[in-house]
Amino acid sequence: MPKRIAVIGGGFTGLVAAYELGKRGCQVALFERGDYLGGLASGFAIEDHPLEKAYHHLFTTDSAMLALVHELGLDFELIMCADSKALYHAGRLYPFTTPFDLLHFTPLSFFNRLRFGFVTLYLTHAPNWQRFIPIPAAAWLKKWYGAQAYAIVWEPLLKGKFHNHYTDVSMAWLWARINSRGNSKDQGRERVIYFRHGFAVVVKALTRKLKELGVDIKYQTQITAVTSSTVPTITFTDGTSESFDRIICTTPSHVFARLIETDAHASEEYLAQLNSINYLGAVLIIFSSSQSLSKYFWHNLNDPASPFLVFLQHTNLVDPAWYNGKHIYYLGAYLSHEHAFFRNSDQEVASEGFDYIKKLFPSFKKEAVRQMQVFRFPNAQHIVDTDYTKKIPDYKTPLPGIYLANFSQIFPEDRGTNFAVREGIKIAKLVCADLRPLL
């Protein structure tokens, strides 16, 4: 008799866990509260072409995701792209991609430009990242890059990404960011990878595979409780429930805490551990325009007066011809859940965004905007602080038969679809290993 497994959440972790369990002969049901799959990496259509709601690309080092893409027969979809970056500081955009750009980055003294290059090179190759865990990134950066580079380059980025938590972030997290970006190369050149038809092609292919494997995908099905008092059981919004041999939950940690809080096995200490991981939300304004505003793809907005952290001209990474010849832009911010952007209308958020873009690019014309969407994700980024290793929850929870797999367990790397794939495979193997004596 095949074992019945419930997977809660249809993001990449849940999709891959369901796929791996299906391949291993389990009878799987996947529950997703939304009416689409892909979670944070889900897509929509703009200018008749698929695109992610939150900007996404891969690094050449993203081996788990690239192996999955290969297994799904999607290698032909991969595009190697030359990344170009700029940094907005004191009302001006500076190119910030190559060592040559750095040498000409005049807001820093010449000595600090050289120092910036050497310290970054060191971080790109530094082994023993474990020693960075207890060190706050802000303090390390100020010490080694110097006060000037910290104030101009690093502090605005840390503040923009982590707000009032910015001084707590572990240097190990930043090391992993610099390391994966710096080592994402193709034939010696820094490159990022994108899909000809967006990350949606992977979601579609996985969905097809899940159907072939007999996985029961339940859309618009929010789980309200998970218990294990007799057997692993989930409860739905209408109060009905269903039991399984095992349950894997892929929601954020604090959401999982709410789901299990009535179960006797969920000690106060365990719930406090789950709730100790803080999350920030993300708000993205995406639009198409007949105007080309910049020659760069990625713009770091090192502007303390702005709620926005990044501006992307996506069509400097890929061909505008994919999007009816129009240009595609993202304006993105990481924000606390209390920020007005989570309450304001899309039009209000976009209006603030467009005013900011006008400041960045005075030639910007709202009349040239053709299609626009605003997306909000309440749990987009967790705070990886210097105490973080104590907070990481185990895959096996104290509730018998119930497992947790989400991006809060990824460390020191930043969350990413590559690691969601890795976690999905890992959790499926763990569940199967635990079930083996019963099979």
Catalog residues that contact ligand FAD under the rule CB under 6 A: 8-14, 31-34, 39-41, 54-58, 222-223, 250-251, 255, 282, 332, 377, 380, 406-407, 415-418, 420
How does 227-255 read in b/e, with b if 16+ C-beta sit within 10 Å?
bbeeebbbbeeeeeeeebbbbbbbbbbbb
β partners of residue 269: none
Residue among 58 and 87 whose Cβ is closer to ligand FAD: 58
Residue among 393 and 416 whose Cβ is closer to ligand FAD: 416
DSSP code of residue 229: S
Residue 287 and residue 326: Cα distance in Å, rounded? Answer: 10
Residue among 113 and 161 whose Cβ is closer to ligand FAD: 161
Nearest-approach distance from CB 371 to ligand FAD, in angstroms? 19
Give me 58's structure tokens: 């891969």
Sign for the pseudo-dihedral over CA of 178, 183, 185, 188:
positive
β partners of residue 194: 79
Nearest-approach distance from CB 211 to ligand FAD, in angstroms? 18
What residue has token string 């303390």? Answer: 304
Residue among 320 and 424 whose Cβ is closer to ligand FAD: 424
CB 434 within 8 A of CB 427: no
Residue among 61 and 120 whose Cβ is closer to ligand FAD: 61
Q: Which helix (H) or strand (E) holds 352?
A: helix 346-360
Give me 73's structure tokens: 């027969």
Q: How many secondary structure helices (H) and strands (E) does the chain include?
A: 14, 21
**Within a 10 A sphere around the Cβ of 75, how many other Cβ atoms?**
10
Nearest-approach distance from CB 323 to ligand FAD, in angstroms? 19
Nearest-approach distance from CB 62 to ligand FAD, in angstroms? 7
Residue among 154 and 199 whose Cβ is closer to ligand FAD: 199
Nearest-approach distance from CB 314 to ligand FAD, in angstroms? 12
Q: Which helix (H) or strand (E) holds 325?
A: none
Nearest-approach distance from CB 210 to ligand FAD, in angstroms? 14
Q: Which helix (H) or strand (E) holds 189?
A: strand 189-195
Nearest-approach distance from CB 375 to ligand FAD, in angstroms? 9
Nearest-approach distance from CB 106 to ligand FAD, in angstroms? 30
DSSP code of residue 231: S
Residue among 112 and 408 whose Cβ is closer to ligand FAD: 408
Residue among 33 and 366 whose Cβ is closer to ligand FAD: 33
Residue among 41 and 108 whose Cβ is closer to ligand FAD: 41
Phi, psi of 375 (to 5 degrees): -120, 140
Cα angle 69, 70, 71; round to 5 = 90
Phi, psi of 426 (to 5 degrees): -60, -45
Nearest-approach distance from CB 53 to ligand FAD, in angstroms? 9
Give me 165's structure tokens: 């938590």
